[in-house]
Structure 1
C-alpha cells in the first residue's frame, strides 16, 4: 500500500491534540526506589536544618528533594513517598519526645505528623501542573496550607517542625515581621520549588532525567537551558534572602527595662523532676537571693522585674503557706516584682499552669493562665483508649484546664505578655498579647522532661521568631535551660547552658507599635493558603502516557516521502 507524499498518515493523536503534545517516553516520573531514596533524603536534610545541627540552608534543599521525588507520580505513590519523607523528617526532629517515655510515644507522634506530609506529597504533583508558570507558587502555597492544617488539628494542632522554625539564623527570619511563620515557610518552600526546577532543567539538557511537570521554558540551545536554570536558582536565593532587606528595629520607643531571668535548675532532669518540687522552688529562691546579695554589694544592677520559669513552684503557693513564704522572702530581698511559674489547684478537679506576679510587700497579684495546655503532656485526651497502647498515659494524673483570656501583667516599667512553653508554637497568642498592649514578652518554659535533647534549642528558635514577628523583646526563661534575652531583631543574648543554674541580666528595649504580622498575620496566612488552593484547582489534568491510543483518531498530515507497506 502506497501513501503519496503529503498524504494522510494513519498515525493519530487524541482529539484536540497533536503528536507534539503527547509526553515523550523519557518524560516519566522517577522509578519507585530512587524516588523513595530521594524523598527520605529530603526529610533527613530538612531535619538537619533545625536547631541541633542548625544547617538552615538545607531547608529548601529538603523541599526540592521531595518535589523532585513526587513529580509526575500518581497520588497513591506520591502519598507513599510523602510518608517516607515525613518519617525521615519527624523521627529525628521529635527525638526529644521519647527521651524519658520510650520509643512508642515518640514514634506515634512522628507518624501522626508524617501523615500530614502524606497529604502534602499527594497534592504536590498537581501543584506542579499549575498554569501560567506558577508551579513554584503553587508548591509554596500548598506547603503553607498543610502546615496551617497541622497547626490546628488534631487536639488543637501541633505545628512543631514548620519550615519557619528552622530559620532563626537565616536572613529569611526578617520576613516574620510581615507575615509571621507562614510567610517564612512560604519563602523556604518557594526557594525549594525553584531549586527543583533549576536542577531538572540542567538535567534535561544533559539528558540525565526528564521529569514531567518540573520544567522551565527553555527550548532551543543548551545555553538557553543553562540561563533558565541559573535564573531559577537566582530566584531561589532571592526568596531566601529577601528578609535581609527588611529592617529589624531595636529602638526603645517606650524606654527600657532592667530584667533578670532566673534559671534555678532541677535536682535531676526527667519525668520525676516534680517529685522534688520543693527542691526546684528552693533552687529558684536561692538564685534570686544570691542576685539580691550581688545587687546590695554593687556587683549587679537593681532589676526592675524578675522572671522565673514555668514550674518554678509546682507547689501551689496560694494554698501552701510554706511555699508562699519561700517566694515572698526571695521577692522581698530582690525588691522587684517577680513572675512565678506555678501550678495551681483548680478550677474544679483540674489544675492550672499559671504565671503569677508576686510583688514586694503585697504578695500574689495578677496572673495569666496557660490557654493551650499540651495534649498528652498536661491533659490526656481519650485516656482509656490510649492506655491500650501505653500505661504512660497515667503519668498525667490530673488534667490541666485551659485559661480563657490573654492577661497583660504590669511589672515595673513593662507591660508583660506571658506565653507558657507549648504556646510559643502558635501564631495567635503572641500577636494577641502585643495587640492588647504588651511591650515585652516572656516565654516561661520547663525543659527538664527532655534532658539534653534538641528540644530546648528548637524552642528557643521559636521565641526568636516571635521577637521579629511582634517587634518585641522576648525573655525566654527555662528551669534547666536554654534561657536567653532576645532583642526585637531576633538575636539571643547570654544564652545559658543546659542543666545549670544561672541568672541573666540585661536592659531590654520596650517598644510600642504593631508590625504588619501582628495586625494582619492571619490574613497573610489565609492569602498564602488561598494561593495554593486556587492554583491546585486551576492545575491541568494529569497527562496520560498512553494518550496516543485514547480518543477518536484525528488525521495528522506529515510531509513524508512515499513508502511501500
Structure 2
C-alpha cells in the first residue's frame, strides 16, 4: 500500500507523543550558555579593553534565544542579565555592604536584569521573522531606552554603548549616540549567531548573504565613520587644572566627611598656587574641583576662606558644592568663582540619584533603613549646565548625569565648548565604578565632539580628548593634580543634531517587528486549531 503524499491539504499524521520525559540537559545547556554570554559581556566592559567580546556575548545570547518561545526567552534573558549586572554593580557593596548587606546590590541587579529578561522574551518572538537579527538587536536597545527613563528617571548604567569607549564601533556614537553604537554591537552578535546557524544547517550560499551583511556591516560602518571623529581646536585652547584632593575610603560614612574633603582640596589648591608662583606650573586659564567637596551657605560669598583662595589663585575656579539655599533646601551644584567678582553662574544637578540624593517613598523607606533619618532630599535644578567662564562656555554634567545623554546634549546646544564631569566616587571604594563612569565620559566625548575634564575627589580624574582617548589619568585614592591644554570646539555632531531620534526610531522598528511576529504566531495557532 502506498502512503498518501504530504501536502498542505494532507499534512500527514500528528507525531505520537513520547512516553519518555524530556531530558533537562538541552535546557540546562542553554542556561549555562546564557550565563556565559552575560559573563562574557561583563568581561568586555571597562576597565578591561576587550570591547570585541561584546558582539560574541550577544551572538551566544542570540543562539540561545533563536526560535524559542517568549517564556523561554524571558528566562534565558534573565540569566544573561544577572550574569552581567551582578558583577558590574558589585561596587555597591563598597557603598552599602557594611550597613545593609547584599540586598540593595542584589535587588538593583535583579531589577536591571528583568529589563533584559523582557527584551529576551521579545527577541525570541521576532527571531523567526525575515531579518530576525535586526529586530532582535533593535528590541534589546528598546529595552535599554525604557530602562534609561523609567521608573524614577531610569537607570542607564550598563548600556551596551557605554562598554565601547574604544574600538571599531566607537565612531558611530558621533552619528547616532549610544543607541546606534549599541545597536551596531548587538546586531553584529545576532547576525553572527544567524550565520553560524545557517552554516550548521548547510544552507545555500544565497541564504548566507543576509546574516553575513548583518555581521559585517556594523563593523565596516564604524570603521568608515572614523574620519568623522576629529580633535582639532576649532575655537582655540584653554589650560585646565584638575585638582584631585583625595578622600577617605569610608563608604556611606563619607556623608559626614565633607570637612575632610574641603581641607584636602584647599590644601591641594594651595600647593598649586605655590607651584604657579614658583614657576613650576604655568598659570592656567581655569581650575576645577570635584563634586560636593565643600558645603556652601545660602550666600556663597560668605565663605571667606574660599574667596581668599580664589583671589590668590588669580583664575576662575569651578567649585563642586553641596549648596544650602535655606535650612531645608540643598542642591548639588557647580559654581563659577571669579578671582575678582567672586561667586558667579552656577548649575544644579538635574538627574539626582534615587535613594542617595533623594529618597522616593520616604515613609516606606524609613521603615526598613535608618539611613533615611539622617538625610534630606536634594532639590533638582533646571536648565542646561552651560557656565560662561575663562572666555569660553564650560558644560557641566555632575557625576551620574554623564550617563544621561539629554543632559549633555542640552548643555552642548547651549554653547558648551568643553565638558566638565565633577564627581565624588569615593563613596564606592576601589572597585570598577570609577572606570565604568570614565568610559561614559569617553563615549560622550565622541558623541558630542567635545573634550571632557573629569574631576573626581579620589579618582579616577582624567582628561579625555574629543576622540575618546585619555591623555591623562589619575590613580584611585591619591592626591594628584592634572594640568592639560584642551581644545575648544563648537561643531555639532550628527548625534547632537538628532538628539533622541535614533533611540525612538530603533525602538519603534523593534516594537513593530514584535507586533508583526506576535500576530503571525497567533494566526498560525488559530490555523492549527481550525485544522484540528
TM-score above 0.5, yes or no = yes
Map of 1:156 onto structure 2: 153
Match of 1:541, SS state, is helix
Separation of aligned partners in 2, 1:241 and 1:456: 31
Pairwise CA distance, 1:202: 3.0
Map of 1:65 onto structure 2: 60
Separation of aligned partners in 1, 2:528 and 2:376: 66
Map of 1:356 onto structure 2: 335
Q: 1:181 aligns with which of 178, 189, 204?
A: 178
Separation of aligned partners in 2, 1:239 and 1:95: 31
Pairwise CA distance, 1:295: 1.4
Pairwise CA distance, 1:10: 4.1
Q: 1:244 aligns with which of 223, 233, 249?
A: 223
Match of 1:95, SS state, is coil
Say whether the 8 Å CA contact 2:297–2:324 is kept in structure 1: no
Q: Are 1:477 and 2:476 counterparts?
A: no
Separation of aligned partners in 2, 1:69 and 1:87: 16
CA 13–302 in structure 1, closer or farther in 2 if over 3 Å, else same: same
Say whether the 8 Å CA contact 2:453–2:462 is kept in structure 1: yes
Encode CA deviations 1:109-132: one digit per residue, 9 max, x unaligned.
Answer: 10110110111011011221223x
Q: 1:38 aligns with which of 27, 33, 37?
A: 33
Greater Cα shift, 527-536 or 116-125: 527-536
Q: 1:423 aligns with which of 397, 401, 410?
A: 401
Say whether the 8 Å CA contact 1:285–1:326 is kept in structure 2: no
Say whether the 8 Å CA contact 1:259–1:306 is kept in structure 2: yes
Pairwise CA distance, 1:282: 1.6
Say whether the 8 Å CA contact 1:14–1:550 is kept in structure 2: no
Q: Are 1:325 and 2:304 counterparts?
A: yes
Encode CA deviations 1:23-47: one digit per residue, 9 max, x unaligned.
Answer: xx9xxx9932111111111111111
Pairwise CA distance, 1:135: 1.2
Map of 2:296 onto structure 1: 316
Q: Are 1:200 and 2:180 counterparts?
A: no
Say whether the 8 Å CA contact 2:188–2:216 is kept in structure 1: yes
Greater Cα shift, 522-531 or 303-312: 522-531
Map of 1:510 onto structure 2: 488
CA 92–393 in structure 1, closer or farther in 2 if over 3 Å, else same: farther
Say whether the 8 Å CA contact 1:128–1:135 is kept in structure 2: yes
CA 38–389 in structure 1, closer or farther in 2 if over 3 Å, else same: farther
Encode CA deviations 1:385-443: one digit per residue, 9 max, x unaligned.
Answer: 23454444445x10111101114211112201110011111110111111111111101
Separation of aligned partners in 2, 1:412 and 1:535: 51
**Unaligned ranges ≥5, structure 1:** 4-8, 206-217, 554-565
Aligned pairs for 1:325-344 (under 5 A) are 325-344=304-323
Encode CA deviations 1:446-485: one digit per residue, 9 max, x unaligned.
Answer: 1011010100000000001111111111111100000111
Map of 1:386 onto structure 2: 365
Separation of aligned partners in 1, 2:528 and 2:224: 54
Map of 2:242 onto structure 1: 261
Map of 1:501 onto structure 2: 479
Q: Are 1:372 and 2:351 counterparts?
A: yes
**Unaligned ranges ≥5, structure 2:** 19-23
Say whether the 8 Å CA contact 1:338–1:358 is kept in structure 2: yes
- Which structure has the larger Rg over C-alpha atoms? 1
Q: 1:293 aligns with which of 274, 279, 285?
A: 274
CA 544–519 in structure 1, closer or farther in 2 if over 3 Å, else same: closer
Match of 2:231, SS state, is coil
Separation of aligned partners in 2, 1:383 and 1:391: 11
Comparing both structures, which one devotes a greater share of its residues to helix?
Answer: 2
**Which structure carries more relative contact order (alpha carbon 8 Å, separation 6+)?**
1
TM-score (norm 1): 0.86
Encode CA deviations 1:509-562: one digit per residue, 9 max, x unaligned.
Answer: 101121111111211221111221222223373499999986549xxxxxxxxx
Separation of aligned partners in 1, 2:5 and 2:490: 72
Pairwise CA distance, 1:383: 2.3
CA 336–317 in structure 1, closer or farther in 2 if over 3 Å, else same: farther
Pairwise CA distance, 1:330: 2.3
Q: 1:460 aligns with which of 406, 415, 438?
A: 438
Say whether the 8 Å CA contact 1:179–1:516 is kept in structure 2: yes
Map of 1:111 onto structure 2: 110
Say whether the 8 Å CA contact 2:354–2:360 is kept in structure 1: yes
CA 549–30 in structure 1, closer or farther in 2 if over 3 Å, else same: farther
Map of 1:85 onto structure 2: 80
Separation of aligned partners in 1, 2:339 and 2:223: 44
Separation of aligned partners in 2, 1:14 and 1:334: 85
Q: Are 1:228 and 2:225 counterparts?
A: no
Map of 2:21 onto structure 1: none
TM-score (norm 2): 0.91
* Number of equivalenced pairs: 518
Q: Are 1:56 and 2:34 counterparts?
A: no
Say whether the 8 Å CA contact 1:178–1:521 is kept in structure 2: no
Match of 2:346, SS state, is strand
